Amino acid sequence: MLCNAADMDQIVDEVWACLHAGANARKERAPFTMLQVATIALDGAPAVRTVVLRRVSREQRSVMFHTDVRSTKVAELRRDPRLSLVGCDLDSGIQIRLHGIARIVETPSETKAVWDASRPRTLIVYRTPLAPATPVASPAEAHATTHAKDPDSSAGFENFCLIDVTVSRIDYLDLNPAGHRRASLVFEEGEWRGTWLAP
Ligand SMILES: Cc1cc2nc3c(=O)[nH]c(=O)nc-3n(C[C@H](O)[C@H](O)[C@H](O)COP(=O)(O)O)c2cc1C
């Protein structure tokens, strides 16, 4: 059964507001700043990890995070760009699940401005010559290379990419004690269409 339009609009507004707050959080983290991203591993098994939500555009139905082009998730997304993201606000009892298609943004013309605008300490991870998941004899071996002083601010830029996800489906769950609500929102013919689901 379709939600009535007002309910649906409210939920769509709430979802994007939560995501915007997550991406725009500065020192104060918002509940949706960290999301878990699931991909399909190269062997077909599920794979999941935490990322920082960096940019959200409701108009483009897009959420974005930063990652290392050498990471396992990028290899997985090159093979199958479908992914799903989940976050929750423990205080309000809201869970938001997003389903979409990832675009790996790695051309310097698209990544350079984002790199330049990023805080230096968030870029350290890209400067190590060790690709993520490289076996090391001890954690110290990776620290030594990661923390090597490098005066060149573009060092590591070649390892930096953005994952831009176009969201096609949203699953919203509200565990309000007054009554749980779950809605499925699908983007069709230029608009979000909602259906209530049993929680
Ligand atoms: C709080 C937190 C935030 C993280 N943010 C990111 C991120 O924004 N991008 C990223 O690639 N990895 C991030 N990571 C590391 C990933 O969870 C993951 O360990 C790493 O990217 C390797 O994943 P993969 O082997 O599946 O590619 C974060 C980890 C934590 C604990």
CATH C-level class of 5-170: mainly beta
- State yes or no: pLDDT of 52 exceeds 60: yes
Residue spans per domain, the chain: 5-170
- State yes or no: pLDDT of 193 exceeds 90: yes
Residue whose token pair is 């700043």: 33
What mean pLDDT comes out for the span 173-185? 96
Percentage above 90 pLDDT, the chain: 84
Q: 77 vs 102, 103, 111, 179, 182, CA distance in Å?
A: 7, 8, 18, 38, 29
Residues with CB under 6 A from ligand 1: 34, 47, 49-52, 65-68, 71-73, 132-133
C-alpha 66 – ligand 1 centre gap (Å)? 9
- Least confident stretch, 70-84, 126-140, 147-161: 147-161
Cα angle at 178 between 176 and 181, to 5 degrees? 50
